[in-house]
Structure 1
């Protein structure tokens, strides 16, 4: 049986690498993106319409969308507009994808739902401060998916939901980062290995690209 996957944001740096990695593993992959398909991750009607047009079941759904914006270096730079924007893209959007995609996920066999989170969304690991909007949005995403995993365990007992930290990946998203970066294909391979290696009893967790749990 050919495994079926859906990648949301498959034209972005990490999303395209995720799509290609799944294809190399002989998965059948469907992608949805804003640039090609008009999917607006901040608009529930757009999400609902795009997903209702698909036929499942999918064995894996991966949300590879995200937005960094302009990270605040101090509390003085915090503003409501940026907070709302970050929450819409990085927390609300992926959660709404799961809301509308749950009926597309396989129930009679193992299935996985993964979304890109970030280590900076960890409250326990926050020792530097700053980045208020991005940090808070990713922390919210973690909470949303953790709660959804608890609920979905009742209807999808073989489903694993995971928040995934990809590391610093060499994409347009991180073009200004001075630190060492992972090549997108390497990051994609690790992320898929981690996601599909998590069992349903660990659903709702927060993991990095090496498979280690990240503090909430």
Structure 2
């Protein structure tokens, strides 16, 4: 990681690592020699079998923690556990996100809009990330470079919205972008070495996108491995001037 070239050992936290892009980050970062310790969170052990298997094989390099981002006490407990092991983090990637869940599906028209569904979208996609930012401050407040990245989505760009629909998901990702932009301003004062960004991964072949892949051209449907590799390249090339920005998987800046 070019941003951390002067740091001999890097501590990483991947939030939402039980599957999909989060699990892919864990798999690729485990192979980087500069990464000393990876902490990875999951919500339910029943859906984290691959992650927990990796932990058993990682010879102490990977530590898995239960954490539900919609429950602040669990965020506090998880970060307390990390602080008992290390006194600083250099890279945090929040991969938690929801598009569909049981009866929860994207509201493609006004007649499908539901306040209960909106609340769930905002709890998971927006509020959890800012709570994470709130409690990570002690682990970011050090004199080495660090990055706090949240997986957003291009569909959350107001300027890029040409098709409409997907009300709750769009709004929750737009809220995530605003929250992280605001976090970047405060972090600039209290944790000036921390770069805060949101990232659009592109359409990735995961459970999140599966019901909506029908009209996606094959060349625009990325494997998890490709998506993670592309996002790590973006992360590798971030500078302090990029804090507060929204980047696509190819490194281009997206409009708010």
Using structure 1 for the length normalisation, give the TM-score. 0.96
What's the counterpart of residue 174 of structure 1?
Answer: 209
What's the counterpart of residue 93 of structure 2?
Answer: 62
Larger radius of gyration: 2
* 1:112/1:196 contact within 8 Å kept: no
What's the counterpart of residue 9 of structure 1?
Answer: 16
Matches within 5 A, 1:10-159: 10-26=17-33, 27=35, 28-36=37-45, 37-55=65-83, 56-69=87-100, 70-105=105-140, 107-159=142-194
Once the two structures are superposed, residues 16-66 of structure 1 have per-residue CA deviations (whole angstroms, 9 ceiling, x without a partner) of: 101112122221311111123431111111111111221231110010111
State the alpha-carbon separation in 2 of the partners of residues 136 and 121 from structure 1: 6
1:199 maps onto 2:239 in alignment:
yes
State the alpha-carbon separation in 2 of the partners of residues 169 and 106 from structure 1: 33
Structure 2 residue matching 1:19: 3-state secondary structure: helix
Q: Which runs of 5+ in 1 are unaligned?
A: none
Using structure 2 for the length normalisation, give the TM-score. 0.82
What's the counterpart of residue 208 of structure 1?
Answer: 248
1:185 maps onto 2:194 in alignment:
no
Q: Which has the higher contact order (CA 8 A, sep 6+)?
A: 1
State the alpha-carbon separation in 1 of the partners of residues 132 and 29 from structure 2: 20
Aligned residues: 216
* 1:72/1:133 contact within 8 Å kept: yes
Give 1:186 shift: 1.0
Give 1:129 shift: 0.6
Q: Which runs of 5+ in 2 are unaligned?
A: 1-7, 46-64
Structure 1 residue matching 2:228: 3-state secondary structure: helix
